[in-house]
């Protein structure tokens, strides 16, 4: 309640952007550089949300969207956000990675304008500002779910090896995973830093001597692929879990068969769904980009949708007013679920277990349900055949 009260006070004290000025939304994403693999689909999703609203005449009157490339550079991301706020942006959609979000939050806080992240997930980010929101689930959720899915995997992992990339993302996620896995009664047999000296040899040594029945790869997509190469090369037969960062079309294509059977947590997003808004989103995305959307495109779309809804019918053009509007979007349904934020700016989504099968991401829980139904149907057909004279 303290956060809501503080934002409510901010509405009265923050200088409003004059009604005569344009209604501006900034978008700062890594379109080039190392993190473009995430920024590109996010931008595609964001742009589709604004383009659809414009075509349907549902865009708030006078709204303009300005896109800027962070170049995967944290200082540049903060500078671009500062420039957009200076131009009058009430919302900047940005902070695609934890590192960029961490650099942009002080800018948004100083300007008292909203920073809406489509994909930064470090738990501590929401505690840094009243004006930071994200449509991507916090690592508090992902870390716990990753521990749950490994511990409860088909072969019930009890002893896990961690292969860790060292960055701000993993430093937020890994302690949550370790705490949850140990709380289950599981054991962390060792931890190897991906990219450190002789880490491949060290990994193979741990696999041979400690014999973990599960491996958790904690990192971004490039590190995940390198770790999978080592594990497959060692003919490791245990359960492998990783982060949701593997789920981009680029990394799935690069990983190929290396990733088959790998588990990870993810907000529910089924591209085969016959229900709207997912069905229409997938159809329109493919029509525009000739690609199937991944989870980052979906979160980008939801960030755009949240911005549009928050700016519609503002009482005053202030960051505090926008923050309050975001708090009231619980009835608006995005493609990854309701756009409902908690008191700290976290999206209130639940994660499900997914896995990669034949190069495609599949909801593992739904897969098990379908398999049970298939086995039951085959059993009934066998019974019927046995009764045939």
8 Å CB contact between 321 and 15: no
Per-residue confidence band for 193, with pLDDT thresholds at 50, 70 and 90: very high
- pLDDT at position 69: 98
Please give the Cα distance from 236 to 232 (Å, whole number).
6
Helix H segments across 210-318? 221-233, 249-255, 278-289, 295-311
Contacts of 268 (CB under 8 A, 6+ apart): 336, 337, 349, 350, 351, 352, 363
Per-residue confidence band for 296, with pLDDT thresholds at 50, 70 and 90: very high
Question: Is 45 or 381 the better-scoring residue by pLDDT?
Answer: 45
Q: Are residues 196 and 234 in the same domain?
A: yes
The answer to whether residue 278 is domain-embedded is yes
Q: Are residues 300 and 240 in the same domain?
A: no
Number of domains in the chain: 2
The answer to whether residue 387 is domain-embedded is no
Please give the Cα distance from 150 to 156 (Å, whole number).
7
3-37 pLDDT, tens per residue? Answer: 544 444 444 434 444 444 589 999 999 999 999 99
The answer to whether residue 159 is domain-embedded is yes
Please give the Cα distance from 67 to 43 (Å, whole number).
9
The answer to whether residue 311 is domain-embedded is yes
- pLDDT at position 273: 87
Q: What is the pTM of this model?
A: 0.84
Q: Are residues 335 and 247 in the same domain?
A: no
pLDDT at 355 over 90: yes
Q: Are residues 287 and 330 in the same domain?
A: yes
Mean pLDDT of the chain, nearest integer: 91
* b (16+ CB within 10 A) / e for 136-162: bbbbbbbbbbbbbbbbebeeebbebbb
52-92 pLDDT, tens per residue? Answer: 999 999 999 999 999 999 999 999 999 999 999 999 999 99
86-145 pLDDT, tens per residue? Answer: 999 999 999 999 999 999 999 999 999 999 999 999 999 988 899 999 999 999 999 999
- pLDDT at position 389: 52
- pLDDT at position 29: 98
Q: Are residues 359 and 312 in the same domain?
A: no
8 Å CB contact between 320 and 8: yes
Please give the Cα distance from 69 to 32 (Å, whole number).
7
pLDDT at 160 over 70: yes
Q: Are residues 318 and 244 in the same domain?
A: no
Contacts of 32 (CB under 8 A, 6+ apart): 69, 71, 72
Q: Are residues 86 and 186 in the same domain?
A: no
102-111 pLDDT, tens per residue? Answer: 999 999 999 9
How many whole angstroms from its chain centre is CA 190? 27
Q: Are residues 77 and 216 in the same domain?
A: no
- pLDDT at position 21: 56
Residue 254: which CATH number?
Answer: 3.40.50.2300
Structure tokens at 387: 């009764």
- pLDDT at position 120: 95
The answer to whether residue 389 is domain-embedded is no
pLDDT at 190 over 80: yes
Q: Is 93 helix (H, G, I), strand (E, B) or coil?
A: strand
Q: Are residues 23 and 160 in the same domain?
A: no
pLDDT at 2 over 90: no
Q: Are residues 360 and 216 in the same domain?
A: yes
The answer to whether residue 366 is domain-embedded is yes
The answer to whether residue 337 is domain-embedded is yes
Q: Calculate the alpha carbon distances from 106 to 67, 103, 129 in Å.
A: 20, 7, 8
Q: Are residues 152 and 50 in the same domain?
A: no
- pLDDT at position 199: 98
8 Å CB contact between 265 and 146: yes
Please give the Cα distance from 264 to 351 (Å, whole number).
10
8 Å CB contact between 333 and 340: no
**First vs last C-alpha separation in the chain:** 71
Q: Are residues 45 and 112 in the same domain?
A: yes
The answer to whether residue 155 is domain-embedded is yes
How many whole angstroms from its chain centre is CA 379? 40
195-239 pLDDT, tens per residue? Answer: 999 999 999 999 999 999 999 999 999 999 999 999 999 999 999
Q: In which domain, by residue range, is 170 found?
A: 140-266+352-370
pLDDT at 153 over 80: no
């Amino acid at each position: 309640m303290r956060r809501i009260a503080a934002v409510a006070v901010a509405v009265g004290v923050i200088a409003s952007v004059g009604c005569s000025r344009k209604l501006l939304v900034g978008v700062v994403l890594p379109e080039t550089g190392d993190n473009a693999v995430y920024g590109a689909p996010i931008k595609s999703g964001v742009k589709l949300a604004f383009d659809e609203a414009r075509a349907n005449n549902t865009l708030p009157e006078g709204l303009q969207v300005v896109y800027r490339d962070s170049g995967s550079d944290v200082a540049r991301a903060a500078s671009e956000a500062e420039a957009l706020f200076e131009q009058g942006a009430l919302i900047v959609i940005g902070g695609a990675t934890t590192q960029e979000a961490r650099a942009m939050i002080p800018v948004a806080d100083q300007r008292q304008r909203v920073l809406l992240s489509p994909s930064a997930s470090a738990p501590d980010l929401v505690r840094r500002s009243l004006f930071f929101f994200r449509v991507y689930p916090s690592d508090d959720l992902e870390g716990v779910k990753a521990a749950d899915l490994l511990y409860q995997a088909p072969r019930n992992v009890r002893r896990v090896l961690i292969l860790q990339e060292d960055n701000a993302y993993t430093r937020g996620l890994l302690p949550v995973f370790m705490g949850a896995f140990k709380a289950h009664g599981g054991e962390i047999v060792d931890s190897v830093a991906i990219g450190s000296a002789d880490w491949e040899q060290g990994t193979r040594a741990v696999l041979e001597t400690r014999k973990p029945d599960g491996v958790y790869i904690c990192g971004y997509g490039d590190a995940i692929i390198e770790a999978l190469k080592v594990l497959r090369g060692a003919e490791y037969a245990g359960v492998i879990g990783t982060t949701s960062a593997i789920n981009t079309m680029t990394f799935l294509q690069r990983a190929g068969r290396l990733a088959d059977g790998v588990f990870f947590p993810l907000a529910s997003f089924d591209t085969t769904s016959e229900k709207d808004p997912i069905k229409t989103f997938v159809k329109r995305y493919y029509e525009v980009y000739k690609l199937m959307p991944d989870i980052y495109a979906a979160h980008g779309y939801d960030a755009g949708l949240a911005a549009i809804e928050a700016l519609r019918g503002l009482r005053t053009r202030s960051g505090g007013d926008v923050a309050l509007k975001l708090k009231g979007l619980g009835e608006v349904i995005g493609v990854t679920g309701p756009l409902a934020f908690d008191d700290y700016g976290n999206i209130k989504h639940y994660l499900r277990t997914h896995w990669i099968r034949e190069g495609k991401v599949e909801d593992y829980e739904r897969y098990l349900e379908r398999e049970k139904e298939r086995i039951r149907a085959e059993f009934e057909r066998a019974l019927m055949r046995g009764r045939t004279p």
